[in-house]
């Protein structure tokens, strides 16, 4: 039981729908038109804004019983850009101290912070260029995570390239090239196209990489295992609070692309037996904080009702 009086910690992903809390970014094209000094000033200004916004996001979560917030990877603009990139620690002024203060705020309110680097991080890639940029990207996340106290950098296994065992072997090798600090934060999530929980669990156990179990992806790409079974197995891979993902299909399970996310979470898709688990559930719904509010209400209502048939 955590401080919110509930067992499950719900997580908000990156942005808000209605609440006026926003994060800024810029484009390489815009930055290139300035001299180096002006570029760094712009990056710092955006980073300061984003640190402040992250603080507001944490406050919002604390006041709305949301226990976790996923931080956008672009929180330091263009930091890992191949031409314009810079060391996170090179950002000037009191920006880093601002982020550290935000980290203390999150800790004080028991708001868990996570990262989910985007699709360009591919540790299973056979291409050395893609691999080096992926490693760099993860190390960047690890640095910022150390400022704010994030305890998860969640990635997918990457492409399968027609030979999943070979791809996973490359993943293992790449993972070994990360710093110890980064490895301690990296988690791996089952996806909806290539790697199922059954594909990933052996590697997760071998290397002690926690599995972020995405039940929606599992339902899109099934491997013969049950939601109950994978939940148990995934829980066992964690040396800290387990993290799961939930979402609902935009056009229903019989629509043409069930992988697309709905604005809200349908209770049918939220496993009943997750209630009462000590874990974080990130809510991947387009309506963001509005979807979480609805989900909280639906979970409360369901808890009051006697057990019904089905999940």
Partner DNA sequence: AGCGGTCAAGTTGAT
Partner DNA sequence: ATCAACTTGACCGCT
Contacts with DNA by CB under 7 A lie at 13-15, 17, 22-30, 33, 72-74, 78-82, 85, 116-120, 122, 125-127, 129-130, 133, 137, 156, 158-162, 193-194, 214, 217, 256-257, 259-261, 284, 286, 288
Nearer to DNA, 9 or 288 (CB): 288
Give SS3 for 236: helix
Q: Which contiguous run of DSSP H or E holds residue 182?
A: helix 180-183
**CA terminus-to-terminus distance, the chain:** 23
Least distance CB 208 / DNA (angstroms): 23
Give SS3 for 65: coil
Nearer to DNA, 149 or 258 (CB): 258
Least distance CB 158 / DNA (angstroms): 6
Nearer to DNA, 63 or 256 (CB): 256
Nearer to DNA, 23 or 270 (CB): 23
Least distance CB 107 / DNA (angstroms): 23
Instruction: Identify the DSSP state of 150.
Output: -
Least distance CB 276 / DNA (angstroms): 25
- Give the closest residue to 5 by CA, choosing from 307, 299, 311: 299
- Give the closest residue to 275 by CA, choosing from 7, 68, 10, 5: 7
Tokens standing for residue 42: 């712009």
Least distance CB 201 / DNA (angstroms): 19
Nearer to DNA, 224 or 306 (CB): 224
Q: What is the Cα–Cα distance from 138 to 116, expressed in whole angstroms?
A: 10
Is the separation of the CB atoms in 125 and 167 below 8 Å? no
Is the separation of the CB atoms in 213 and 230 below 8 Å? yes
Least distance CB 245 / DNA (angstroms): 7
Is the separation of the CB atoms in 186 and 135 below 8 Å? no
Nearer to DNA, 2 or 74 (CB): 74
């Amino acid at each position: 039981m955590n401080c919110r009086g509930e067992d499950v910690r719900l997580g908000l992903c990156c942005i808000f729908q209605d609440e006026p809390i926003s994060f800024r970014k810029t484009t390489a094209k815009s930055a290139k038109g300035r001299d180096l000094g002006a570029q760094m000033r712009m990056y710092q200004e955006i980073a300061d804004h984003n640190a402040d916004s992250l603080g507001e996001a944490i406050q919002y979560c604390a006041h709305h019983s949301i226990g976790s917030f996923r931080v956008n990877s672009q929180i330091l603009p263009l930091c890992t850009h191949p031409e314009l990139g810079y060391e996170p620690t090179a950002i000037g002024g009191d920006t880093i101290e601002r982020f550290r203060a935000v980290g203390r705020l999150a800790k004080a309110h028991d708001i868990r912070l996570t990262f989910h680097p985007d699709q360009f991080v591919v540790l299973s890639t056979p291409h050395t260029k893609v691999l080096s940029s992926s490693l760099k990207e993860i190390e960047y996340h690890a640095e910022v995570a150390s400022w704010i106290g994030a305890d998860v950098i969640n990635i997918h296994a990457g492409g399968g390239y027609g030979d999943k065992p070979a791809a996973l072997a490359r993943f293992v090798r790449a993972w070994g090239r990360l710093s110890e600090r980064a490895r301690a934060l990296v988690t791996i999530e089952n996806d909806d196209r290539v790697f199922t929980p059954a594909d990933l669990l052996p590697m997760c156990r071998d290397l002690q990489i926690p599995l972020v179990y995405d039940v929606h992806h599992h339902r899109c790409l099934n491997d013969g295992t049950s939601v109950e079974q994978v939940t148990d197995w995934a829980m066992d891979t964690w040396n800290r609070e387990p993290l799961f993902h939930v979402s609902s299909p935009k056009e229903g399970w019989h629509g043409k692309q069930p992988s697309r996310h709905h604005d809200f979470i349908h209770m049918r898709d939220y496993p009943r037996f997750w209630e009462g688990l000590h874990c974080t559930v990130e809510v991947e719904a387009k309506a963001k904080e509005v979807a979480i509010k609805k989900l909280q209400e639906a979970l409360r209502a369901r808890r009051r009702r006697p057990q019904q048939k089905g999940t």
